[in-house]
Amino acid sequence: MSTPVLIHGDCMAEMARLGDNSLHAVCSDPPYGLVEFSPGEVGKLRAGHGGLWRIPPSMDGCERRPLPRFSVLTPEQKKSIETYFFQWGTVLWPKLRPGGHVLLAGNPMLQLYVQAALIEAGFENRSTIMRVYHGFRGGDRPKNAEKEFPGVCVQPRSNYEPWMLFRKPIAENTVAENLRRWETGGLRMLAGGKPLPDVILSFKTPENERAIADHPSLKPQHLLRILVRSLLPLGTGMVLDPFMGSGSTLAAALAVGYDSVGIELDAAYFELAQTAVPRLGALYPGVKGEFLDDNTAASGEKIREEQSLIWDELKAEANLTTSDTSVLQAGLD
Ligand SMILES: C[S@@+](CC[C@H](N)C(=O)[O-])C[C@H]1O[C@@H](n2cnc3c(N)ncnc32)[C@H](O)[C@@H]1O
């Protein structure tokens, strides 16, 4: 395995310089609405006021981190997501091997635009993997009329993050032939021959990881190691993160033992990634994404904590009776 390669620049321009068929897979957390990481919006985020970023209302006295509000995007801005990802997919196409997978973090309100664009660019829509965790978006009451309409919310409360899975079509007659020639076409199974599930129980990014990489969209190593590991079916090859941020994908690749390359536009986040990738990658040395519930402080206990939080909240919010919960519980088991 070689040292992760970090590139400072615009991903479209930098991807165009990569060698044809040099990538086995892509794993990334793009700017969901494109605009939230534009220089103007990042300036407002760093200044602490204005723009698309908002601190969610405090519900339990805990300090909240800023989150972008995608509900305010205009129809034109949503259309521009589709236009952008079509061009992005077109630039990526020759660089990715036939049968290579692309896994992109999404947002329930915006994922359809990204999916439409990448299908138009020629990729197959393979699945959506749901990262189940206790989010803070949604559930808001009608603004300035909360008392007038106490029983109304404008959006469901968010408890999952979709990760959209695409594949560049295989070039050979069968997946087996594609695996032999290109080392791509399938997904790597978890330990014990278990297929990757399309629902993964997760949790908010732990504070010890945030202390290393203070990026507003930092993803947890537990989740990323499972996802990144699954993308190389034969356990070898090159993974790209074109919207690298502080480098959590590259850190996961490092921990799993994969080659990786990352691209980041923002100079401060690029600088942060240079120190964060080796430090995040060195955390939890036994956790290599082979199990859904590695028994470490960063996963096992956290998962159980989140599971009970989600469950407690479901019960409290729906005010369910004992018989109602038994029906739901049967479905969840
Ligand atoms: C949602 S964040 C990813 C954060 C990452 N998940 C992490 O854990 O640090 C998206 C990143 O893409 C970067 N970005 C936005 N447009 C870009 C572009 N055209 N090329 C490369 N990076 C870009 C932003 O600066 C931001 O850091």
The confidence band for 63, taking pLDDT boundaries of 50, 70 and 90, is: very low
- β-strands 199-201, 124-132: how paired? parallel
Instruction: Output the CA 88–ligand 1 centroid distance in Å.
Output: 14
Ligand 1 atom 5: residue of nearest CA? 245
CB-ligand 1 contact for 31 (6 Å cutoff): yes
Instruction: Output the CA 250–ligand 1 centroid distance in Å.
Output: 13
pLDDT at 289: 96
- Among the atoms of ligand 1, which is closest to the Cα of residue 247? 9
pLDDT at 73: 78
Distances (CA, A) of 195 to 180, 257, 285, 307: 20, 20, 23, 22
Mean pLDDT in residue range 285-312: 77
Instruction: Output the CA 217–ligand 1 centroid distance in Å.
Output: 9
pLDDT tens per residue across span 214-229 = 999 999 999 999 999 9
Q: Decide: 28 and 47 in contact? Cβ < 8 Å.
A: no
- Percent of the chain exceeding pLDDT 90 equals 64
Instruction: Output the CA 30–ligand 1 centroid distance in Å.
Output: 6
* Domain-located, residue 217: yes
What b/e string do you get for 283-294 counting C-beta neighbours within 10 Å, with b at 16 or more? bbeebbbbbbeb
Instruction: Output the CA 147–ligand 1 centroid distance in Å.
Output: 39
Residue 151 to residue 168: CA distance in whole angstroms: 46
The confidence band for 332, taking pLDDT boundaries of 50, 70 and 90, is: low
Joined together, the tokens standing for residue 145 give: 């009329």
* Domain-located, residue 307: no
**pLDDT averaged over the chain?**
86
* Domain-located, residue 285: yes
pLDDT at 202: 92
Sign for the CA dihedral angle at 25, 29, 33, 36 comes to negative
* Domain-located, residue 316: no
Query: Which CATH number do you get for residue 112?
Result: 3.40.50.150
Mean pLDDT in residue range 67-82: 77
Ligand 1 atom 12: residue of nearest CA? 243
Instruction: Output the CA 38–ligand 1 centroid distance in Å.
Output: 10
pLDDT tens per residue across span 256-284 = 999 999 999 999 999 999 999 999 999 99
Instruction: Please say if the pLDDT value at position 327 is more than 80.
Output: no
pLDDT tens per residue across span 11-58 = 999 999 999 999 999 999 998 655 555 666 666 666 666 665 555 444
Instruction: Output the CA 194–ligand 1 centroid distance in Å.
Output: 32
pLDDT at 16: 98
- Among the atoms of ligand 1, which is closest to the Cα of residue 248? 8
Number of domains in the chain: 1
* Domain-located, residue 122: yes
Mean pLDDT in residue range 67-89: 83
* Domain-located, residue 330: no
pLDDT tens per residue across span 130-165 = 999 877 666 678 888 999 999 998 888 888 999 999
Find the domain containing 133 and state its range. 5-294
pLDDT at 156: 85
CB-ligand 1 contact for 217 (6 Å cutoff): yes
* Domain-located, residue 326: no
CB-ligand 1 contact for 111 (6 Å cutoff): no
CB-ligand 1 contact for 215 (6 Å cutoff): yes
pLDDT at 48: 64
The residue to mutate among 17, 243, 261, 263, having the most atoms of ligand 1 within 8 angstroms of its beta carbon, is: 243
Measured at the CA of 195, the angle between CA 190 and CA 199, to 5 degrees, comes to 100
Ligand 1 atom 25: residue of nearest CA? 266
Instruction: Output the CA 283–ligand 1 centroid distance in Å.
Output: 22
pLDDT at 154: 86
- Percent of the chain exceeding pLDDT 70 equals 76
Would you give the end-to-end CA distance of the chain in angstroms? 40
- What's the whole-model pTM score? 0.86
CB-ligand 1 contact for 37 (6 Å cutoff): yes
Write the DSSP symbol of residue 29: -
pLDDT at 133: 87
* Domain-located, residue 310: no
- The residue written with tokens 């997919």 in the block is 89
CA 74 from centre of chain: 23
